[in-house]
Amino acid sequence: MKFVDEYRNETEAQKFVQAIHQVTTQPWTLMEICGGQTHTIIKFGIDRLLPEEITLVHGPGCPVCVTPLELIDKAIAIARRPEVIFTTFGDMMRVPGSEADLLSVKAQGGDVRMLYSPLDAVKLAQQNPDRQVVFFAVGFETTAPANAMAVWQAKQLGLDNFSILCSHVLVPPAMEAILSSPHNLVQGFLAAGHVCAVMGYWEYEPIAEKYRTPIAPTGFEPLDLLQGIYIVVKMLEEGRWGVENQYVRAVTREGNVSAQKLVKQVFQVCDRPWRGIGVIPKSGLCLKPEFADFDAAERFEVTGIVTQESSVCIAGEIMQGLKKPHQCPAFGAECTPEHPLGAPMVSTEGACAAYYQYGRVVT
């Protein structure tokens, strides 16, 4: 398949593996930000091809993983209302709330639908004027433009039966939170290619400078990951820091300017709690006051939510790169993809699910 096979070529991959081995002289810890990257690493066995000095830790870039429990409980409460058509991306369906998930709400008769684009939810609202259509707007900077577009369109159309339950998060504040933590282990980053395709990489330059850390915006195919790892390790070995772009076929320094403009028109930066991590200042996007009518959390009064996290799940430590999934006592035992205790076991982008699915169970 064109534009895929080229990046999965075994001979080319082996060349990069050798180059990484040659350049590495001491231990380094790298974090790949995005769960999609984690997935490729484990799926293709990339970590097993690297020198043992290099440790890859898996970052917080899994939208379903970091969505706060309280918001999932809110989503579930809204989805149970008879007048509501609750729409969401597929992998939010199975994320465990305090006592249920959206799949079980659907099984109990709730009108929960899986969509591929928030714009389909707008269409659904047009087609069902007597129902309330709610879209679960989660994700990083990658999904923000499409969600902004949905709200913007709904406003133009004058739809009063469309709203979003919003939990957008931003990568740079999370990276700063990790780097400024006294427990931090991460020495270099593979930044998330798709986020950078939207936002560019100019935002990362001050972070690289402030924390003297190499950062490489990196793609999602095996060769992308290997090249990204090579770039970061080489910078570390040479004592350099800064941003070097691996994903040149998709990412520019400025990013997608019109998408950024649209996001700014609809959303504003706000503090945001991250599941398992806590509140990170200025790390989220919320609807601007002029679009507040489209906020489902305001439209549907949801009270009496008492959240209850699993007491054994260590998702937070995993997403900060402090621990690996198999170091969790519940991993593969009480916590499996069929019965997840924490969100990282749900999505294919979650580190625990990647470890579980591809057999990284230490026995």
Helix (H, G, I), strand (E, B) or coil at 183: coil
Residue 294's identity, in one-letter code, is F
Binding residue (CB under 8 A) for another protein from 82, 158, 304, 359: 359
Helix (H, G, I), strand (E, B) or coil at 267: strand
**CA distance readout (Å), 21 to 31, 66, 224, 226, 232:** 18, 34, 17, 11, 13
Does residue number 103 form part of the binding site for another protein (CB under 8 A)? yes
Stretch that binds another protein, among 36-44, 160-168, 180-188, 236-244 (CB under 8 A): 36-44
In what side-by-side order are the strands of the sheet with 278-287?
A: 112-114, 84-88, 132-139, 162-169, 278-287, 267-274
Minimal distance, residue 118 CB to another protein, in Å: 11
Contacts with another protein, 182-201, as mask; x by CB under 8 A: ------------x-------
Stretch that binds another protein, among 45-53, 284-292, 295-303, 317-325 (CB under 8 A): 45-53
Minimal distance, residue 356 CB to another protein, in Å: 8
Which residues, at least 6 apart from 360, have a Cβ–Cβ distance to it below 8 Å?
42, 325, 326, 354
Q: Return the number of the residue (41 or 151) whose C-beta is nearest another protein.
A: 41
Stretch that binds another protein, among 5-13, 22-30, 234-242, 243-251 (CB under 8 A): 5-13
Does residue number 333 form part of the binding site for another protein (CB under 8 A)? no
Strands 242-243 and 278-287: unpaired
Give the number of residues in contact with another protein, rule: CB under 8 A.
47
Q: How far apart are CA 258 and CA 15, in angstroms?
A: 38
Judge whether 287 and 166 are in contact, CB under 8 Å: yes
The structure tokens 């709400």 sit at 105
Contacts with another protein, 257-296, as mask; x by CB under 8 A: ----------------------------------------
The structure tokens 């810890």 sit at 29
Q: Could you list the residues that contact another protein (CB under 8 A)? A: 1, 4, 8-10, 13-14, 36, 42-46, 48-49, 63-64, 89-94, 103-104, 107-108, 114, 116, 138-140, 142-143, 194, 222, 336-339, 347-349, 356-359
